Chains A and B, each alone.
Chain A
Amino acid sequence: MSHNERFPASRYGPVERKMAESLVELESRILAGETEEDCDCKEGMFNGLSRRGLLAGGLAMGGAALAGGRAAAEAPPGAQEYYVQPDPTKEQGRIILDDGGYGSRSQFENEVRWRYPTASLDSSWSMTPLASGHGVITPSGLHFERHHGGIPAIDPETHTLVLHGMVDQPMRFTMDDLKRLPAVSRLHFIECSGNGLTEWVEPTLKTVQGTHGLTSTSEWTGVRLSTVLEMAGIQDSAAWILAEGADAAVMTRSVPIDKAMDDAILAYAQNGEALRPEQGYPLRLLLPGYEGNTHIKWLRRLEVSDKPFMTREETSKYTDLMPDGTARQFSMEMDTKSVITFPSGAMKLPRAGFYEITGLAWSGRGAITRVEVSADGGQTWQEAQLEGPVLPKCHTRFRLPWTWTGEEAVLQSRAVDDTGSIQPTLQELVEVRGTKSVYHLNAIQSWHIAANGEVTNVHA
């Protein structure tokens, strides 16, 4: 029997087949009484499975072990390299549960988060590839990150949340406790208030991932913070609540008690499964519409007080320096904002023709009511179509059909929310705030389309 008959291409890709053939050869040599030293098979031959592992368990586990040992080195992160059939209608596809029971994305999809080149790897941020996103949900593995002390690995069986301070009864909750309490699920964006910080003075980063990638939307599930606050009984003098994380930064922010009682969530789930570790597993605070830094991850403690705590992240950082030298403090709400994600920076339109302009709009104050798009740098505007349901404090997808004639164009989008707040131009923003405030840049973004189709980040 030839190898090809024993390991047909319908079930075995080239990598698996090589492994299986080697295994059979090894088995036959052992059965023939040859010692191991005589075998010409070498460590590494099995491409991910050590020979030791194969000998110890591979023979008994058969196909499953072979599949598990598949080389994934060349597949993009989150994908497995599977055998690509020349004609998938003429061969059986790969077997079910080959992935161990938790799927992976196609080996032909390669979007990844991009880390802004901060000096420190412990305190850094990564950005969502908005250009290739669809709809409004950000895949959990592409949700932007901002860490101040790395990503801790926390066992939920040992994690607790302590609630104390100006409450009638200090309380301590295990993760099991929290999962037994009434829950809510809400779709909300989180945006870092530093989103766009490189863009105040001149166009700096080239892609929409770099200029706007510190915003992401997920469905978050957890317990309303008001539920546990009412269980503990907040005292009349309570005005602020400190949220503290269990990471190396022991991250802390003060939150107004009104916000805590309004729509804050103690979230343990994201997009239908447990939070990702880099999003605060097993528990994070969610403050819909507030700047991302306040959504404390790895949440371990809540302390109710009459005053804000004046932590480092609400004094030294996340305060907005104005031209007169004063700084705005507790600037929590994320303002009305939108960006065209297609076409966007560093793309190249191949030729004149039909393109659907699309992008995202959001507001930390409410729901988006209107998005307008300009193809001439803001001289004329057309109303874009909003994908429903349009949810408050959530990314909203907009679309507008557009025919590019092949002439120069400047694409812009401008969002309005249900409080009447209109996304400003950069010039309007800078007139009030100067260029040193770092945070809360929500200005209209401009993408220049050159006659050759190249799309670039410009200030227009």
Chain B
Amino acid sequence: MSTRKFILVPVFIATASVALAQSDTAKRTVAALPETLEATGERAPQPVPTSSAEDISDLAPENLRFGIGRPATEEQIAAIDIDVMPDGRGYPEGSGTYAEGEELYLQECSSCHGENLEGVADLGAPRLIGGRGSLASDAPVKTVESYWPYASTLFDYVHRAMPMQAPGSLSNDQVYAISAYILGRAGITSDNPDTTLDKQSMTEVEMPNADGFVPDPRDGSPEK
């Protein structure tokens, strides 16, 4: 290491700090230590949290009117309200075909779940199809086809958390298409390449194990 390089290091750090401070998108990556009180050298306490509410004219803590928290706007809700329910609530607009899904599956899913949706145990990626009629056997096979009670769960989960290497990256159309492919391969919907799934048709899909679930009967007694 030369002396020149050594001198350049602090200069670089100083420049970088200025650049960070000037950038609107700069985010802090750590907290600074508490400040020191000049008079005594003590550490300053944490700042008092500031409520986001603006109107404090009508406070009544005994009635839970704390003047804390703000109404959520429709935009704020819509930005993260991604869940889909079995009765169709929450499905976004859009559609996708089995053929599109097949292509997408091979690109986005097959490296973990296998080319034939058979799963890859070494990656922890489960098998997606097959296993019908096995649930009461000594070797139950739990897949989307054999076990999952609602098609909405498939859409919701792929949309929010798949693929593992880029979760949440698929468009609504792409998720419809991948759903059409998986459900088609499972023999639940048609495997005709033109088979199209959308909000309406997804809601109408009947899963083989829809009636396979019972409410939890446990009450702490030995017979349950």
Measuring CB to CB, which residues of chain A are less than 8 angstroms from any residue of chain B?
35-37, 43, 51-52, 55-56, 101, 118-120, 122-123, 148-149, 155, 157-158, 160, 162-164, 169-177, 179-182, 227-228, 230-231, 242, 244, 248-250, 252, 300-301, 303, 305, 307, 309-312, 315-316, 319-333, 335-336, 365, 417, 419-422, 424, 428, 432, 436, 440
Contact = CB atoms under 8 A, between A and B. Distances in A.
Contact of A43 (B1, B213, B217): B1
Given A119-B124, A248-B161, A252-B83, 13 more contacts: A36-B2, A120-B124, A160-B76, A173-B68, A174-B52, A228-B69, A248-B168, A252-B160, A310-B153, A311-B156, A325-B135, A326-B135, A432-B224
B85 interface: yes
A242 B83 contact: yes
Interface in B54-110: 61, 64-66, 68-73, 76-77, 80-83, 85-87
A51 B2 CA distance: 12
B80 A300 contact: yes
Given A250-B168, A310-B153, A172 B216 contact: no
Contacts of B149: 310, 315
Interface string B124-163: 1000000000011000101010011110110011001100
B81 A301 contact: yes
Interface of B: 1-3, 6, 9-10, 27-28, 33, 49-53, 61, 64-66, 68-73, 76-77, 80-83, 85-87, 121-124, 135-136, 140, 142, 144, 147-150, 152-153, 156-157, 160-161, 164, 167-168, 212-224
B216 A330 contact: yes
Nearest to A35: B3
A324 B70 CA distance: 50
Contact of A169 (B71, B87, B123): B71
A326 B164 CA distance: 30
Interface centre among B73, B85, B144, B168 (most CB of A within 10 A): B85
The prevalent SS among residues of B at the interface is: loop
B220 A417 contact: yes
A335 B160 CA distance: 31
A324 B76 CA distance: 45
A242 B81 CA distance: 11
A310 B6 contact: no
Given A180-B66, A326-B213, A119 B157 contact: no
B49 A175 contact: yes
Contact of B87 (A155, A181, A307, A327): A307
Given A163-B72, A307-B85, A327-B214, A176 B27 contact: no
A312 B124 contact: no
A332 B218 CA distance: 10
Contact of A171 (B10, B70, B216): B70
Contacts of A322: 214
A310 B212 contact: no
A120 B125 CA distance: 8
Contacts of B222: 422, 424, 428, 432
A311 B53 CA distance: 33
Nearest to B9: A52
Given A35-B3, A52-B9, A417-B220, A176 B160 contact: no
A208 B57 CA distance: 57
* Most chain A CB neighbours (cut-off 10 Å) among B53, B122, B214: B214
Contacts of B223: 432
Max count, chain B CB within 10 A of own CB: residue among A43, A303, A336: A303
A171 B69 contact: yes
A173 B69 contact: yes
Contacts of B51: 176-177, 180
Given A36-B3, A120-B123, A311-B153, A164 B69 contact: no
A177 B68 contact: yes
A170 B80 CA distance: 14
A179 B142 CA distance: 43
Contact of B214 (A171, A300, A326): A326
B72 to A, nearest CB: 4
A180 B49 contact: yes
Contacts of B157: 311-312, 316
A162 B219 CA distance: 34
Contact of B69 (A36, A172, A305): A172
Nearest to A231: B64
Contact of A170 (B77, B86, B160, B219): B77
Given A249-B161, A335-B220, A428-B222, A312 B147 contact: no
Contact of A420 (B28, B61, B148, B220): B220
16 contacts: A35-B3, A37-B2, A170-B77, A171-B69, A171-B70, A172-B72, A175-B49, A177-B52, A250-B82, A250-B168, A307-B87, A311-B153, A315-B148, A316-B153, A323-B136, A365-B220
B162 to A, nearest CB: 10
A119 B122 contact: yes
Nearest to A163: B72
A158 B85 CA distance: 29
Contacts of A300: 80
Contacts of B53: 177
B213 A327 contact: yes
Contacts of A436: 140
Contacts of B10: 56
B216 A331 contact: yes
Nearest to A123: B124
Given A177-B52, A181-B68, A323-B136, A315 B150 contact: yes
B218 A335 contact: yes
A312 B153 contact: yes
Nearest first, the 5 closest Cβ-Cβ pairs linking A and B are A421-B220, A325-B136, A119-B124, A176-B49, A120-B124
